[in-house]
Amino acid sequence: MSIAFQEEKVHEGKNFKRIREIMGLKQETVGQRCESKFDQRRISEFENMWTIPEPTLQELADALGVTIEFIRSFNEEKAIYYIQHNQNTSKQNSLNHFPTITYESENKIEAILEKLVEDDNVKTQAILDLTKVVADLAEEVKRLKG
């Protein structure tokens, strides 16, 4: 006697939606976090799909900071635990993160700006020299014609 196990079909859209809601994110916010910049309507369409295309599901998972497997094997209790303990709070990902400019950085910036000014002065002088040559040539042409 054999027992056949039927693989349960996962509603990826509903799982994605529930994770998004638990995280307190709006559809529009998730859409803007995606590389493809989905609008709110498109996110809503994904949430109604049983199966979301793999590349899109990867983008959505990245926007939520979870894996595709996490969305597919969603369990609300596990999800709440995962979200509470695995949120990326790195300053590097914060919109309000302002990097500290060190003294070395200031020196490098100053050196680059000085080089730009020097190059600009050289180019300006070259233009002035060429303008004088053109004016001299114009006078020579006038003299030869006249």
Q: Output the average pLDDT for the chain.
A: 84
pLDDT at site 8: 67
46 C-beta neighbours (distance < 10 Å), count: 22
Is residue 56 within 8 A of residue 82, CB to CB? The reply is no
Q: What is the CATH number assigned to the segment(s) 12-89?
A: 1.10.260
Task: Find out whether 72 and 13 touch, Cβ atoms under 8 Å.
Answer: no
Could you tell me the pTM of the whole model?
0.50
**How far is the C-alpha of 27 from the C-alpha of 34, rounded, in Å?**
11
- Label residue 87 by pLDDT band (50, 70, 90): low
Q: List helix spans (H) across the chain.
A: 12-22, 27-33, 40-47, 54-64, 68-72, 76-85, 103-145
pLDDT, tens digit, 9 for 90 and up, residues 36-75: 899 999 999 999 999 999 999 999 999 999 999 989 988 7
Structure tokens at 75: 């369990």
Structure tokens that stand for 81 in this block: 């635990």
If pLDDT is split at 50, 70 and 90, which confidence band does 76 have? Answer: confident
